[in-house]
Structure 1
Amino acid sequence: MTPDRWISALEQNALSLPPLSAVLIYGASGDMQLDVFGQARLLAVQGFYPDHARVVARGIDVHPDLPADAVDAFDLALVAAHKSKKLTLSRIAKSLMALRKGGILMVDGAKTIGIESILKALKSTFDGVEVFSKSHGKLIWFVRPDVLPQTCAEWVGSATKTEDGHIVPIGSFSADGPDQGSEILIALAPKLKGRVADLGAGWGYIAAHILDEQDSIETLDLIEADHAALEAARQNVGDPRARFFWADATAFKPDALYDAILCNPPFHTSRAADPALGQAFISAASRLLKPSGQFLMVANRHLPYESALKANFSTGRMLAEMQGYKLYQAGKPKAARSAR
Structure 2
Amino acid sequence: MHPCWQILERHRDSLDATSVLWLDPPQSHSLIKTGDHCITPNRANHRQNPAQWLAPDADWPATVDHLVLFYPKAKGRLEWWLRQVQQQAAGATLWIVGENLGGIKSLPKRVSPWARCDKLDSARHCGLFEVRQENALPAGQDWLSFNWNDHTIHALPGVFSQNRLDTGTAVLLGQLPALSGELLELGCGSGVLSLALLNGDQQNHLTTVDIDWLATTSTQRTLTDAGMADRAEVIWSDGLSEVPVQRYDHLITNPPFHTGIRTHYEPSERFFAASHDWLKPGGSLWWVANDFLDYQAVLQKGAFEVQQLAHERGFRVYRAVRKG
**Matching residue of 2:22:** 25
SS at match of 1:83: coil
Residue 259 (structure 1) shift: 1.0
SS at match of 1:307: helix
Matched, 1:113 2:102: yes
2:269/2:295 contact within 8 Å kept: yes
Residue 273 (structure 1) shift: 3.4
Structure with more of its chain in helix, by fraction: 1
CA distance in 2, matches of 1:213, 1:306: 26
Residue 157 (structure 1) shift: 4.7
Matched, 1:130 2:119: yes
2:188/2:210 contact within 8 Å kept: yes
2:236/2:242 contact within 8 Å kept: no
Residue 208 (structure 1) shift: 0.8
**Amino acid across the alignment from 1:257:** R
Matched, 1:225 2:211: yes
**Matching residue of 2:138:** 153
Regions of 4+ moved over 6 Å: none
**Amino acid across the alignment from 1:45:** I
Structure 1: state its 5+ residue gaps: none
Residue 307 (structure 1) shift: 1.7
Residue 321 (structure 1) shift: 0.9
Structure 2: state its 5+ residue gaps: none
Residue 134 (structure 1) shift: 2.0
1:320/1:328 contact within 8 Å kept: yes
2:285/2:321 contact within 8 Å kept: yes
| 1:78-122, Cα deviation, whole Å (9 max, x unpaired) | 111111142123213422443353x31111112222111224434
Normalization by structure 2: what TM-score? 0.85
CA distance in 2, matches of 1:273, 1:42: 29
Residue 70 (structure 1) shift: 6.7
Residue 316 (structure 1) shift: 0.4
Residue 131 (structure 1) shift: 2.7
2:237/2:243 contact within 8 Å kept: no
CA distance in 2, matches of 1:177, 1:263: 18
**Matching residue of 2:36:** 42
Residue 251 (structure 1) shift: 2.9
Following superposition of structure 1 onto structure 2, how do residues 284-299 of structure 1 map, counting pairs within 5 Å? 284-299=274-289
Supply the RMSD in Å over aligned alpha carbons: 2.8
2:155/2:190 contact within 8 Å kept: yes
- CA pair 310-257 structure 1, distance change in 2 beyond 3 A: closer
Corresponding residue pairs, total: 315
SS at match of 1:162: strand
| 1:121-167, Cα deviation, whole Å (9 max, x unpaired) | 3466533612311222122124x35xx313x234x550111133211
SS at match of 1:198: strand
- CA pair 135-167 structure 1, distance change in 2 beyond 3 A: same
